[in-house]
Amino acid sequence: MKAVSHGFSLLEIICVLVLLGVLGAAATIGFSRSVELYTFTKDNDVLAQQAQIALNRVLIEFTNIDQSATGADFNLDAPGTETPSTSYKFPAKYAGTTTDNTFSFDAASGRLSLNGEPLCDGVTAFSIQKDSSVAGVADLAYVKVDLSVSSNNKTRTFSTQITIKKFDGTSS
């Protein structure tokens, strides 16, 4: 009489377990790379959003620059300045009233602020350069803004140039 075999042999079970182990290892590597890519993308997105918010605020403030305030304090870096200032001051006009706006950068804390209010954290460098040969705020044609933001050992630098609109003082 022939013996009837029911089930799997030990060799078949071992082969299946080895194949499942190889497939599991490949899946784990793929999954971990996906998580790393997601984290990298998320960090870059946060950096880009922080920088965009700060640069938009700088744009808004320079849109309101008061070029008629010729006697007002005016502090922007000259083109090619190797050591940027930590504080930038310029006059701005809101609802007919001229006030001084000050962007301040504290390298120790990595904070950029506008008139003492926090604007962006994680800043590693910030500079505002005026166009060449500008004596006062009335002659200002454009400013160049450089902002470096860092998070999780990743630093990105953002730059923009803001053209200052000339107003003749009349309303239409």
49 φ, ψ to 5°? -65, -45
Cβ(88)–Cβ(75) below 8 Å = yes
Cβ(124)–Cβ(155) below 8 Å = yes
Q: Domain total for the chain? A: 1
Helix (H) or strand (E) holding 105, with range, is strand 97-106
Is the predicted pLDDT of residue 33 greater than 90, yes or no? yes
**What is the span of the domain harbouring residue 153?**
41-163
Inside any domain, residue 100: yes
What is the structure's pLDDT at 65?
Answer: 82
More confident residue, 168 or 37: 37
pTM recorded for the entire structure: 0.71
More confident residue, 124 or 154: 124
Inside any domain, residue 128: yes
Comparing 16-30, 81-95, 100-114, 158-172, the range with the smallest average pLDDT is 158-172
What is the structure's pLDDT at 172?
Answer: 38
What is the structure's pLDDT at 72?
Answer: 59
Beta strands in 41-151 (DSSP E): 87-94, 97-106, 111-114, 117-121, 123-130, 142-151
Inside any domain, residue 51: yes
Inside any domain, residue 13: no
Is the predicted pLDDT of residue 27 greater than 60, yes or no? yes
Total residues found in the chain within this entry: 172
Is the predicted pLDDT of residue 7 greater than 70, yes or no? yes
Confidence of residue 26 (pLDDT cuts 50, 70, 90): very high
CA distance 73 to 50: 29
Inside any domain, residue 26: no
Confidence of residue 1 (pLDDT cuts 50, 70, 90): low
CA distance 150 to 129: 21
Mean pLDDT across 69-96: 77
